[in-house]
Each structure stands twice: as C-alpha cells, then as structure tokens.
C-alpha cells in the first residue's frame, strides 16, 4: 500500500522515493525519502497501472476457467464498486489478447451450457435445479456483459465472439423459462449485433430464434409495446428467416397469424406494419392470414375496421409498387372481394359498419389511379349484375 503525502497549498503529491523508478521525477523535494509529482500526472499513472492490472486479471480468469471470479467481476462491473469496468479492461488489451480472451470465453460458455443441454436431453429430468440455473444465468450474463462492450464501442468482433453469439442464439429455447431474463438478455445482445451489421448478408442466422422468441413474447398477457418495436426494427429479416431450412416456417406463420389479431399489434403503428408485412410476404399464406383477420373483423370494433383497412391498403400498395401481380391479384380476389361480398350479404348492422369503415380506407384513396381501377374492377360485378 503506497502512502502519498500532498503538499499544503500545492497540486503536488509526495511519492515514496523507493517506488520512483516507476515514474520519472517531476519536481524537486527537500524530503530525501519522497519525490514530488503533479496530482493529475500521478493519478493518471496510477489509474493506468490499475487498468493494466485489471486487464491481466480478466485474462487470468479466462485462462484458469474461473467461473466464480468471472461472475464476481461481472457483479462489480454492474455495481460500479471498482474504479474500472469491463470496457476499461478490454480497451487495455492488445488485439491478440482480445482474440485469446474471446476464444477462452467461448469455450467456457459452451462448457457451462453443456449442463443445460444434457439436462434437456434427459427426459427423466426435464427441469434443472435452482442452483444450476443460477450458475448458468450468472456465467452467461457475465459473457453477455463482456460482449456488449464490443458492440457498444463498435470494436472489431473476433471469430470466436461471433461464434459465441450464434451459439447463444442457438440455445435460446433450451434455456428454462425460470430464467426468462437470460433469454431476454441474449435477445438484446443478438439484436445489437444485428443492428450494427457485424455479419453482412447473413444477419438472419444471428436472430432467427430471437424473432421467434419475441413473437411469442408479444403474444403473452404481459406483453409490452417495446417488444413489438424490437420486432419492427428487425422486420426486414423476417422474409429471409422464413426461407431458412433451420426453422419450421409453419410455426412462424402461426405466430404471425396470432399477431394479426392481437390487440397490442393493432394498437401500434409498428404492429400494424408488421401485420401488413405478413400479408404481403408470401402469396401462399395470404388466404390463411386473411381468414384469421376476417374472423377478428366480424367481432371487432369500428376502430379495428379502420385499422385493418389501413393494413390492407399498405399491403396492396406494396404489391403495386413492387410490381407483384400475383400478390396484387390475391389481395384483390381473396381478401378485398371477400370483404365486399360479406358486407353486402351480412344482416348484422354492426358487421356491415365495421366492414364499411375498412373498405373506406380504400375509398379515401380513390384518386390514385391504381386504387380507382381496382375498386371499379371489384364493384363492377355487383353494381351491374
């Protein structure tokens, strides 16, 4: 422990002479046992030494696979009880040291997750004990905190770091629901990486499970608007995810169908755009999506009729702008024509009003040539029969 003495009415600190080999003397001092340094200079030097020590400690933890120490450092990093953070420690590592750190941490994460995967393979023990869940939660959260530093600071990501994130995305649904916060933390990490475009043109492999997870999460009773916005921010990846061989597209479409009738989605502009995207993504599923929406409309409110009108209008406009004639015809004949006929044939005034409000969103845009032509085409058999 160094004992520093500060001169009265001065910005100098007396530093023990026996340690002065570390720094070059800056000021003369009459006391033979001390050397004087400016306060700012000395504090900066001491902090740099502390950061170097922190970086070495972090590497030592990885090398020794000391899970307990890693969790302890992560806890201190969050509580700010130490004068340095993970960010400070990583920034004091060289490029090769950072690569080694991620290589060792990746192995630690995979080794720790083996307990989870083995537990799920054992049909006689489908749930992990609380102690194992707690340890897994703490270790993976520590790894996530370290990885977050790289993305937040826009630092280069090593191959091992990318592999670790892909691995975490892959085991997302293997994690017990009792540690839901860990699932959400993994999702946030993958989202950061996706938005920063660390893997060009292959981002769907980072988030395919994340999107499915968030779709399920937004359909829960405790769903919040923020989660819908998170999906909206990744909406461009949904068509690519549906084409992946690693997932079951029917599962995703089933979730999207439920989202299409979710009050939470209907109450948000972002949610409405996600439904419109689902309507215009794959021609094969237009009829399925429409049937689910129609059932909601028949028991829905006038406000929902207006909302669905805007959704169908956006999907139809997309088909026109992209020159997708197949999708355009499907929306006209399967969806809009069906709504028109239902409105004419129904004897329930409330249903008629709801459907009128929905179709009204197209009527308001009839000055657009393509809308005018579409309305004439659909109403012609009814008006002139």
For the chain, percent of residues with pLDDT exceeding 70: 81
Q: State residue 115's pLDDT score.
A: 74
Question: How far are the Cα atoms of 8, 69, 134, 178, 319 from residue 53, in angstroms, in the given order?
Answer: 31, 15, 29, 37, 60
Label residue 95 by pLDDT band (50, 70, 90). confident
Confidence of residue 118 (pLDDT cuts 50, 70, 90): low
**Strands, DSSP E only, in the chain?**
5-6, 12-16, 34-38
At 213 the pLDDT is 94
| Residue, of 73 and 229, whose pLDDT is higher | 229
**Residues 304, 338: Cα–Cα separation, whole Å:** 17
* Residue 76 or residue 279, greater confidence: 279
At 278-304, the pLDDT tens digits run 999 999 999 999 999 999 999 999 999
pLDDT at 205: 74
- Please report, rounded to a whole number, the percentage of residues in the chain having pLDDT higher than 90: 49
Q: Is the pLDDT of residue 31 over 80?
A: no
pLDDT at 326 over 50: yes
Distances, alpha carbon 269 to alpha carbons 67, 260, 276, 308, 311, in Å: 44, 13, 11, 11, 10
- Taking the CA of residue 32 as centre, how many other CA atoms within 13 Å lie in the half-sphere pointing to its CB? 0
As a whole number of angstroms, the distance between CA 119 and CA 110 comes to 14
Which DSSP letter does residue 27 get?
A: B
Domain ranges of the chain: 43-121+128-202, 280-384
């Amino acid at each position: 422990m160094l004992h520093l003495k500060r001169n009265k009415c001065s910005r100098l600190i007396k530093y023990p002479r026996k340690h002065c080999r570390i720094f070059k003397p800056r000021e003369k001092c009459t006391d033979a046992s001390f050397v004087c340094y400016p306060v700012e200079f000395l504090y900066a030097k001491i902090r740099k030494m502390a950061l170097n020590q922190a970086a070495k400690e972090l590497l030592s933890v990885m090398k020794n696979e000391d899970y307990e120490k890693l969790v302890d450092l992560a806890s201190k990093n969050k509580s700010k009880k130490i004068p340095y953070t993970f960010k400070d420690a990583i920034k004091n590592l060289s490029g090769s040291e950072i690569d080694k750190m991620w290589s060792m941490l990746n192995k630690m994460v995979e080794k720790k997750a083996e307990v989870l995967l083995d537990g799920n393979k054992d049909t006689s023990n489908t749930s992990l004990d609380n102690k194992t869940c707690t340890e897994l939660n703490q270790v993976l959260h520590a790894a996530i905190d370290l990885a977050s530093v790289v993305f937040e600071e826009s630092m280069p990501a090593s191959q091992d770091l990318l592999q670790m994130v892909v691995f975490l995305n892959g085991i997302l649904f293997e994690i017990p629901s009792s540690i839901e916060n860990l699932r959400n933390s993994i999702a946030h990490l993958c989202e950061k990486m996706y938005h920063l475009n660390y893997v060009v043109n292959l981002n769907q492999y980072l988030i395919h499970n994340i999107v499915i997870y968030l779709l399920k999460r937004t359909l829960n009773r405790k769903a919040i608007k923020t989660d819908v916005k998170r999906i909206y921010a990744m909406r461009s990846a949904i068509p690519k995810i549906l084409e992946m061989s690693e997932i079951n597209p029917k599962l995703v479409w089933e979730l999207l169908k439920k989202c299409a009738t979710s009050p939470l989605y209907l109450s948000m502009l972002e949610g409405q755009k996600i439904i419109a995207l689902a309507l215009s993504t794959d021609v094969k599923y237009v009829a399925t999506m429409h049937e689910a929406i129609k059932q909601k409309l028949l028991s829905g409110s006038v406000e929902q009729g207006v909302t669905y009108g805007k959704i169908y209008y956006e999907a139809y406009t997309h088909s026109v702008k992209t020159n997708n004639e197949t999708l355009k015809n499907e929306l006209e004949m399967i969806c809009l024509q069906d709504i028109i006929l239902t409105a004419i044939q129904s004897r329930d005034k409330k249903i008629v009003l709801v459907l009128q409000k929905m179709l009204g969103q197209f009527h308001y845009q009839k000055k657009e040539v393509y809308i005018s032509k579409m309305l004439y085409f659909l109403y012609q058999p009814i008006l002139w029969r």
